[in-house]
């Protein structure tokens, strides 16, 4: 019997069959734990755990065992390995089984998992859209090159008109190219003249200095044609530069040359660009094709480009919507507790618990992990395992997790030759668990320790089993015989 949200429930089990009652109402009889019992308990507890199946990787609701995992330590397997009572759930990888603790700590919830699954699905869709968009752009670019600038037309007459327009463009381009060619020639002649004049002045200075030092008559020989010239020619060159001071003439001419070269480079680049445009138009409107065939081909390509652009626009809109949705999901996921912060607190609590039980070893530093249990040996193993259980509960309490908290069932925590003092320490830690609704402890000689365990233990309900291996004796059976027979009949009817 148990109570959730002030509603009483009862679960009855016979071998592999379960009956669930809400008050006096029977709400489920089943032997299907995964598909029927688990969803019902998720609804009752407002809590479920979703794990990746080892078989196919699908995320599915895990069986109820993972809801109870941190709340039960059995005598046979629970004290040899942390959460060892549930080590046989082989449908999930061991690391994924440990991830179920994230749900108990509210790091993962059903809504968080749904958000992550939605995020992954949206990311896949976004990647597909990006690939499609790249392909569309490549096709559009190829078709646009094929059209080569032809203006779309609704009919052949319009096409003829467009052809004439483009022929006019060709004429204009030819004229512009001719003008550019003339301008280039002018600049090349000017550049050659200035370079020659710079050479004249440079040589004049060199020869003049030599003549003065040798007291010779100063004459010059043209380096290009051998013509002899004297100061009069130099004066004419000098006059071309507005009688600038001799010390600046060479610099001035050099700057003029640089300016002419820049202009020449720009004009040549523009000439090349205009030539390419002309070649494209001439190719597009070559008389090698019949104009009607040309119209049909380009009209079809133009329509295809329009349709592809429409698809591309839709694709980009969908990408934008998905990016916004992913951004919203990321923002919502940030509202869940941080794994790093939760793990840090868990380590702190577990470490203090081990120290409190006198089981600390310096080798444990850096080895405490939420999903990687500490390994211990011998008589200390019970203390180490209990410290980790209680550390989890303390972390849940510290972060005020909204997940349901169940009774903690502990079977025989004082095994492995625990001394009387160790028994007191172990039972005292169990008795001090106050953040859970109930603790159910199975141990021997409890009354010998009861008085030393504080008010929690003093107020405990103690049930003493008088007969070995008998939880239900004859008197109990007689008292509940009618109810037991009624439930057995219920299971038998359901099976039939």
Q: What is the pLDDT of residue 478?
A: 93
pLDDT in tens, 156-176: 555 555 556 667 777 788 888
Which CATH entry fits the domain spanning 154-284: 3.40.50.20, 1.10.287.1490, 1.10.3720.10, 3.30.450.20? Answer: 1.10.287.1490
Which of the 8 DSSP states describes residue 233?
H
Separation CA 39–CA 329 (nearest Å): 25
Which of the 8 DSSP states describes residue 20?
E
The packing angle between helices 156-214 and 291-333, to 10°, is: 80
Q: What is the pLDDT of residue 294?
A: 57
Q: What is the pLDDT of residue 208?
A: 63
pLDDT in tens, 36-59: 999 999 999 999 998 888 887 777
Separation CA 349–CA 102 (nearest Å): 17
Instruction: Identify the H or E element spanning 256.
Output: helix 246-284
HEC per residue, 39-94: HHHHHHHCCCCEEECCCCCCEEECCCHHHHHHHEECCCCCCCCCCHHHCCCCCCCH
Supply the mean pLDDT for the chain.
83
When mean pLDDT is compared across 126-130, 245-249, 366-370, 432-436, the lowest value belongs to 245-249
- Confidence tier at 420 by pLDDT (50, 70, 90): confident
Instruction: Identify the H or E element spanning 349.
Output: helix 339-356
User: What are the sequence ranges of the domains in the chain?
Assistant: 63-108+338-464, 110-150+290-335, 154-284
Separation CA 283–CA 75 (nearest Å): 90
CA atoms within 13 A on the CB side of 298: 26
pTM above 0.75, yes or no: no
Q: What is the pLDDT of residue 56?
A: 78
Percent of the chain's residues with pLDDT above 90: 38
Q: Which of 377, 465, 394, 383 is nearest to 424 (CA)?
A: 383
Separation CA 273–CA 269 (nearest Å): 6
pLDDT in tens, 376-413: 777 789 999 999 999 999 999 999 998 999 999 999 99
pLDDT, average across residues 272-282: 82
- Confidence tier at 242 by pLDDT (50, 70, 90): very low
| DSSP H helical ranges for 369-463 | 381-398, 420-431, 447-450, 454-458
When mean pLDDT is compared across 30-39, 288-297, 411-420, 465-474, the lowest value belongs to 288-297
Whether the per-residue pLDDT at 296 is higher than 80: the answer is no
313 Cβ contact partners less than 8 Å away, ≥ 6 residues apart: none
Whether the per-residue pLDDT at 134 is higher than 80: the answer is yes
Question: Is residue 45 within 8 Å of 31, Cβ to Cβ?
Answer: no
């Amino acid at each position: 019997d148990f109570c959730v949200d002030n509603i009483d429930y009862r679960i009855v089990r016979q071998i592999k069959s379960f009956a669930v009652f809400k008050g006096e109402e029977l709400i489920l009889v089943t032997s299907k734990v995964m598909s029927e019992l688990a969803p019902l308990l998720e609804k009752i507890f407002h809590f479920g755990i979703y794990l990746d199946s080892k078989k196919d990787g699908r995320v599915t609701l895990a069986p109820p065992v993972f809801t109870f995992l941190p709340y039960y330590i059995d005598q046979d397997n629970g004290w040899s390995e942390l959460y060892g009572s549930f080590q046989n759930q082989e449908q999930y990888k061991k690391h994924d089984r440990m991830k179920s603790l994230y749900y108990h700590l509210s790091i993962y919830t059903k809504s968080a998992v749904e958000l992550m699954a939605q995020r992954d699905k949206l990311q896949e869709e976004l990647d597909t859209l990006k690939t499609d968009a790249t392909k569309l752009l490549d096709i559009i670019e190829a078709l646009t090159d094929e059209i080569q600038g032809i203006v779309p037309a609704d009919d052949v007459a319009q096409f003829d008109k467009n052809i004439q327009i483009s022929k006019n463009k060709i004429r204009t381009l030819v004229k512009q190219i001719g003008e550019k060619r003339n301008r280039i020639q002018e600049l090349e002649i000017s550049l050659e003249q200035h370079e020659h004049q710079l050479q004249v002045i440079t040589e004049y200075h060199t020869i003049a200095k030599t003549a003065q030092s040798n007291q010779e008559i100063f004459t010059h020989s043209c380096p290009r044609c051998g013509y002899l010239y004297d100061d009069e020619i130099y004066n004419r060159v000098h006059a071309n530069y507005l009688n600038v001071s001799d010390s600046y003439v060479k610099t001035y001419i050099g700057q003029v040359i640089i300016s002419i070269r820049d202009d020449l480079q720009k004009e040549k680049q523009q000439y090349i660009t205009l030539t390419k445009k002309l070649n494209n138009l001439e190719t597009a409107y070559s008389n090698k094709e019949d104009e009607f065939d040309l119209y049909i081909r380009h009209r079809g390509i133009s329509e295809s480009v329009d349709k592809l652009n429409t698809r591309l626009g839709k694709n980009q809109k969908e990408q934008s919507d998905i990016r916004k949705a992913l951004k919203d999901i990321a923002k919502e996921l940030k509202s869940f507790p941080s794994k790093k912060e939760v793990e840090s607190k868990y380590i702190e609590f577990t470490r203090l618990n081990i120290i409190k039980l006198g089981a600390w070893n310096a080798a444990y530093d850096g080895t405490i992990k939420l999903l990687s249990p500490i390994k211990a040996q011998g008589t200390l193993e019970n203390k180490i395992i209990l410290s980790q259980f209680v550390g989890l509960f303390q972390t849940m309490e510290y972060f005020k997790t909204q997940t349901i908290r169940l009774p903690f069932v502990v079977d025989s925590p004082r095994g492995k030759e625990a001394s009387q003092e160790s028994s007191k320490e172990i039972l005292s830690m169990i008795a001090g668990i106050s953040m859970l609704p109930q603790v159910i402890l199975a141990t021997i000689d409890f009354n010998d320790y009861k008085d030393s365990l504080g008010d929690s233990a003093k107020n405990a309900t103690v049930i003493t089993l008088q007969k070995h291996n008998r939880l239900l004796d004859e008197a109990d059976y007689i008292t509940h015989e009618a109810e037991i027979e009624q439930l057995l009949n219920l299971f038998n009817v359901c099976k039939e």
